[in-house]
Structure 1
Amino acid sequence: MLDDYFRQYGLITIFALIAVAIPVGMLLVSTTLSIVGIRPDKPDEVKKSIYECGFETLSKRWSGFNSRFYAIALVFVVFDVEVVFLFPWASEFGYMSSKFGAFVLIEMAIFVAILLVGWLYAYRKGDLEWT
């Protein structure tokens, strides 16, 4: 049993090594081809310019975006992850409720309540307001 346990970690380790080796290998091949001269390195002003939907840019400076978008994106990610956890739970709720009773429902209610407290905090702080 313990042997099977470590075999699973061996598979995860092999997967992680392959996941690291592929990008590192691609970077090494690209750098080697650049040094050898097969991949040309020709810097140009057009390559450094900002590409905006095929149109020429009006100014040369990089413009930032409003920080409110960052707050909205974070709230979206939090609730998106909540939905990722909520769907499998909902699909197995019938089986789990017959086995564990009301504990499963209370556990998910606490999870959703904690997320709603975070949403209320962001709402009262004004992070979701555009005015």
Structure 2
Amino acid sequence: MPSNPLAIAAYLSLFAGVGLIFLFANLLVGRFVRPANPHQEKLEVYECGEPSIGSSFVQFDLRFYVVALLFIIFDVEVAFFFPWATVFGKATNLANQTEPAAVVAQDSPANGTPAPKLTGGVTPARLSDNTKHLYRELGIRNPALPTAVTASKDNASKAVKESFSDLAKFTLIDIGIFFAVLIVGFFYVWKRGDLDWVRAVSEERALPDATTAAATSATQEPVLSS
């Protein structure tokens, strides 16, 4: 993935240009392919599936707005899956990458030759450029190896992969809790009948006959007059 601002701007311009070309190409093809069949009904007002009959002050069915609001709420909640997917993807990439390696041997800054090995025959290590770039995409400006890790390539590479493996597992637990809360809310509104298009009719059919009989007897009760 390019990190040069000029390359990023070039890619954005390319994507925008392809999108505009695709849009206008479809409009142009439709202009020559679709049949010309003008009709008066095609010019009539269409609002939320309600027929435009009568006064403009007529009350629309509020069930549409309830269902539409529920759709917007759950649609926005699902959008929160995308940041999680980004973090999870980068974490698994860092945890499983082998080429280029997450950690490489540290070269001597003087002449570019490999640095001498430390005590015990271990080789000093540093983060690879690709790993640093992925770290920066996660919001870490100056990534570096953990100071608590022995300064060897093998130990440092193992520590980096284990840390991102733990991050990937944590993100799975996090999205599991979020999705569970989302499902509980969905079943709650489903249980309440908020997803029923004609809620009043379904509730009236569910009423017991005893309630109707009691209401009928109450209306037929004689009233004494003085």
The two structures have a TM-score, normalised by structure 1, of 0.50
The two structures have a TM-score, normalised by structure 2, of 0.31
Which structure has greater helix proportion?
1
Q: Which has the larger radius of gyration?
A: 2
